[in-house]
Amino acid sequence: MQYTFSPKLKMTSLIMVVIGVVLYGIGFFLHQSDVANSTEYINGLIQADPTQFYGDYVSESFKSLNTDHEEHMHHLVNLLKNRPWAAFYVPAYFAFGIAAAALFYLSIQFVANAGWSMVVTRVMEGIATFLPVASVLLMVIVLGSYFHMNHLFHWMDADLIDPTSEKYDIFMANKAQLWLSPNFWLVRCVIYLVVLSAMVPVIKNATRKLDENPGDKGLFSSLYTKSVLYIVFFAICSAAFAWDFIMSLDPHWFSSLFMWYGMVSYLVSAVSIMAIISIYLKRKGSLPLFNDNHLHDLTKYMFGFSLLWSYLWFCQFMLQWYANIPEEVQYFQQRMAQYPYYFWMLVVNLAAPFLILISSSMKRRFNIVFVMGFVIILGHYWDFYNQIMPAAVGPFHNFGLMEIGAFVGISGLFTFVVMNAISKLNLEAKGHPYFHESKIYEYPF
């Protein structure tokens, strides 16, 4: 069974890319005028709402042009300059995580010898196809940061680890000895992006060969082995790139739960996209074997991962907030002070999935799951926005043309690449020995 890429959807996705680029370009142009007059622009914002910049401890003497104020002004200018990079970083990283998690989820199906999911494995492969593209997008951020074209990762400032500098930070110096070294960071980032991306054609070729040689035990065993390798790579890389790409934006803060927190966010978003695309293909007649039994199982993962994400978020917040350790609690203090809608994402990421998808009958409703898929994706984009923007831009977080443009543009690119890849796949994995089990699968309850 083959899917023909709808000309309407193809045109829509390309228009989204163009609109995204135009909006981002206009936003960048307007932003440059603020940067050109950064001191006056920032002082105007400070006068309008000083607590956004200095907290509750602002005083007239501090706001006068003394050394402390000048140093803080330099920091604020750097944050202002970060905004174009951060606006692009959020959707690029989110798309990268979704694609990597989709291939991880696919590999789990093969390793676990799952039968129910074989009808939708080609959808998972299609989503994973975006991983090399997302890696290229992230490489722009990585190289821009390494060559000091932005200040996203402020620990890269050499003065922070120079004992003779007034900016010397012993905490940063200690971390630089082991982990936060720019050269070592660059090497690690390249490894994450290259290794994970390289596994996409490896697994796709293995499934294609199995289709061409159905029942071949050697090819089936080879697919199993390659899937195990990707699971191992993803387990290591997903933990490390969560630290390097996100947690190191706030280098004084740390959380032992953070890698799991991020991974579950990618997973629930990836499964939501699987459900959306599967429903779309079903309606187009390209995935006739997909039925409410398969949808029910996909939605169970959407529901379960949403609750797991909420559990991890609460554990991370509760343990750190009530322990009241300065290095930990400042992470949440900034978000509560500068991002007043921070906690509202719990409505989208916890309350909505829990209340709407808890019923078994609701998990079988195509229209409801289709809409909830978009709700969950937007909710977790909001989560990554809250993770990245406070550290990257601080108080300069207006959701404007650059943020909208980057999100729309990368969403359009994601849609085009994924649906184009799916159109080149045989949507029925007839070579897999469990495909028949998936065809006749029926949820027993």
In this predicted model, which residue has the larger pLDDT, 171 or 94?
Answer: 94
As a whole number, mean pLDDT of residues 417-434 equals 94
| Integer CA distances (angstroms), 160 to 93, 164, 251, 253, in order | 27, 10, 12, 16
Q: How many helices (H) and strands (E) does the chain have?
A: 18, 0
Q: Are 207 and 283 in contact (CB under 8 A)?
A: no
Cα separation, 264 vs 306, in Å, equals 8
333, pLDDT greater than 90:
no
Q: Write out pLDDT tens, residues 355-368.
A: 999 999 999 999 99
- Of the candidates 52, 60, 75, the one whose C-alpha atom is nearest the C-alpha of residue 333 is 52
Helices (H), 7-129: 7-36, 38-48, 51-54, 60-63, 67-111, 121-128
Question: What length is written for the chain?
Answer: 445
The pLDDT-based confidence of 41 (bands split at 50, 70, 90) is confident
Cα separation, 199 vs 206, in Å, equals 11
Q: Write out pLDDT tens, residues 379-414.
A: 999 999 999 999 999 888 888 899 999 999 999 999
Helices (H), 284-351: 292-323, 326-338, 345-346
Cβ-proximal residues to 202 (8 Å cutoff; 6+ apart), any chain: 226, 230
As a whole number, mean pLDDT of residues 194-201 equals 97
Written in H, E and C, the secondary structure of 403-418 is: HHHHHHHHHHHHHHHH
Cβ-proximal residues to 115 (8 Å cutoff; 6+ apart), any chain: 434, 437, 438, 441
pTM of the predicted model as reported, rounded to 2 decimal places: 0.94
66, pLDDT greater than 70:
no
Rg (CA), the chain: 23
Cβ-proximal residues to 415 (8 Å cutoff; 6+ apart), any chain: 9, 12, 13, 16
pLDDT at 261: 94
Cα separation, 371 vs 161, in Å, equals 49
pLDDT at 58: 53
The pLDDT-based confidence of 36 (bands split at 50, 70, 90) is confident
176, pLDDT greater than 90:
no
Q: Are 260 and 236 in contact (CB under 8 A)?
A: no
Cβ-proximal residues to 247 (8 Å cutoff; 6+ apart), any chain: 253, 254, 255, 258
